[in-house]
């Protein structure tokens, strides 16, 4: 299902009321009866409701189910997309949608434009009237759980209670809510993550990270490899130190951002004397014949940005040790394969993190804060059940094995190209699959 906004501007207020009525009816009905749609839309004229139903069906926002026992419609992913976008536009979170820059196994990534006030909360309301080129580029992530689900769980749907399509949309809502909640907590705690801007239904709006996915980097200097490896391992330990485990900490979920730092040095030299000759003191008030030189040195450093949080879990989870070790092994395996780097330190280990947390008083637990903010344990278990049933681990291992077959040959064929700068590579939040990205204006 691709995002198609062709009909978005042509929908009337009556159409939105009918579409919202279908969404409300989907909470208790797999197929919402037409009579219930008319009742929930609160339209005075029944003919007006039927006209809106026909318009929405032609736009593929709702669909009639064949061979149903009664006349009714179900909400499609396109209809859910329109409802989420309509809410974002009403709240001034988004101004316009752009090109799709990434399609993963369970989400779509789009470039969108947001009013300056949405991306920088401190700005005044007058900034909303700024011109088009001054508006901020952001990322719209649309969660689409269920896209690959039918490959592995055709016979394992007891927890869905025979509500296939509606359940996938409910899971997508939970996934988006979880990602926004964890991203907000991590950003407030000072972790290098995108800035969360808004959430509605199955969509999350976040800031655009101007960087390059780690898996696209072919060559780094040895000191850069060591420093980057150390930062990534320290990030895993730091996450566990606040009670969280990423669960999918690999090269596809790490963006590398370039930052320039400049340093200046001041030097003086006489215009008439050699550099190693001591300059005479000027006591008679005459002007000193010396030249002052300011040398500015610019250095580029690499900083990792972490993305993709729907699979994040607490260190209190029963399998927390397994997921922690898997995150560590993913980074070690990638650096060994791509950069031929192996650390002398065999850690970090999950038991060391647990020991540190037990002996340290006043530790901030983000997993507890997230649960208190609205993402309950019941929601987490429901989403975790879905993740287990679609066999996420097997999917990740398949992608990783494919990269093993092509990673070494790529590095040998291409030599040692330098890391592309942020203005040469378009920024993506593609966390699920390998994908080439082109420049976007």
Q: Which residues are catalytic?
A: 248
Tokens of 126: 């007058």
E strand intervals along 37-193: 62-64, 72-75, 96-103, 107-114, 136-143
* Beta carbons of 365 and 242 less than 8 angstroms apart: yes
The order of strands in the sheet holding 196-200 is 96-103, 107-114, 136-143, 203-207, 196-200
Identify any residues that bridge with 207 across adjacent strands, giving them in sequence order. Answer: 138
3-state secondary structure 226-279: HHHHHHHHHHHHHHHHCCEECCCCCHHHEEEEEEEEEEEEEEEEECCCCCCCCC
Residues 6+ away with beta carbon under 8 Å from 277: 270
Q: Please state, in angstroms and rounded to a whole number, the distance separating the CA atoms of residues 329 and 322.
A: 10
Q: Please state, in angstroms and rounded to a whole number, the distance separating the CA atoms of residues 247 and 320.
A: 9
Q: For 91, phi and psi rounded to 5 degrees?
A: -85, 5
Q: Please state, in angstroms and rounded to a whole number, the distance separating the CA atoms of residues 68 and 124.
A: 53
Q: How many CB atoms lie within 10 A of CB 429?
A: 25
**Between the CA atoms of 233, 238, 239 and 242, what dihedral angle is there, to the nearest 10 degrees?**
160
């Amino acid at each position: 299902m691709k995002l198609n906004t062709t009909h978005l501007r042509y929908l009337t207020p009556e159409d939105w009321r009918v579409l919202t009525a279908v969404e409300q009816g989907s909470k208790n009905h797999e197929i919402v009866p037409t009579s219930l749609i008319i009742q929930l839309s609160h339209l005075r004229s029944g003919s007006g409701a039927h006209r809106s139903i026909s318009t929405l069906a032609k736009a593929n926002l709702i669909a009639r189910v064949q061979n149903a026992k009664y006349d009714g419609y179900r909400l499609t992913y396109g209809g859910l997309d329109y409802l989420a976008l309509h809410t974002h536009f009403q709240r001034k979170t988004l101004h316009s949608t752009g090109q799709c820059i990434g399609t993963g196994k369970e989400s779509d990534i789009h470039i969108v434009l947001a009013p300056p006030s949405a991306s920088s909360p401190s700005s005044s309301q007058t900034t909303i009237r700024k011109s088009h080129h001054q508006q901020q580029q952001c990322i719209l992530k649309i969660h689409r759980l269920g896209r690959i689900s039918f490959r592995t769980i055709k016979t394992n749907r007891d927890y869905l209670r025979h509500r296939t399509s509606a359940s996938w949309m409910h899971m997508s809502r939970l996934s988006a809510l979880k990602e926004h909640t964890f991203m907000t907590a991590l950003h407030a705690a000072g972790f290098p993550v995108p800035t969360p801007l808004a959430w509605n239904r199955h969509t999350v709006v976040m800031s655009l990270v101007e960087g390059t996915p780690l898996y696209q980097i072919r060559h780094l200097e040895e000191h850069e490899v060591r420093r980057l490896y150390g930062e990534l391992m320290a990030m895993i330990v730091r996450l566990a130190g606040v009670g969280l485990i990423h669960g999918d900490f690999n090269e596809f979920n790490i963006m590398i951002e370039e930052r320039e730092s400049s340093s200046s040095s001041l030097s003086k030299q006489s215009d008439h004397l050699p550099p190693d000759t001591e300059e005479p003191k000027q006591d008679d008030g005459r002007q000193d014949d010396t030249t002052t030189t300011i040398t500015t040195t610019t250095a580029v450093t690499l900083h990792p940005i972490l993305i993709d949080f729907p699979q994040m879990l607490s260190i209190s989870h029963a399998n927390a040790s397994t997921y922690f070790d898997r995150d560590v092994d993913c980074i070690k395996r990638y650096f060994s394969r791509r950069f031929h780097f192996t650390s002398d330190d065999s850690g970090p280990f999950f038991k060391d993190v647990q020991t540190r947390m037990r002996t340290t008083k006043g530790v901030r637990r983000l997993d507890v804060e997230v649960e208190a903010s609205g993402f309950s344990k019941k929601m987490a278990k429901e989403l975790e059940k879905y993740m287990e049933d679609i066999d996420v681990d097997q999917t990740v291992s398949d992608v990783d094995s494919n990269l093993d077959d092509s990673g070494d040959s790529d590095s040998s064929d291409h030599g040692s190209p330098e890391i592309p700068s942020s203005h040469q590579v378009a920024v993506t939040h593609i966390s699920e699959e390998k994908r080439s990205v082109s420049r976007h204006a």
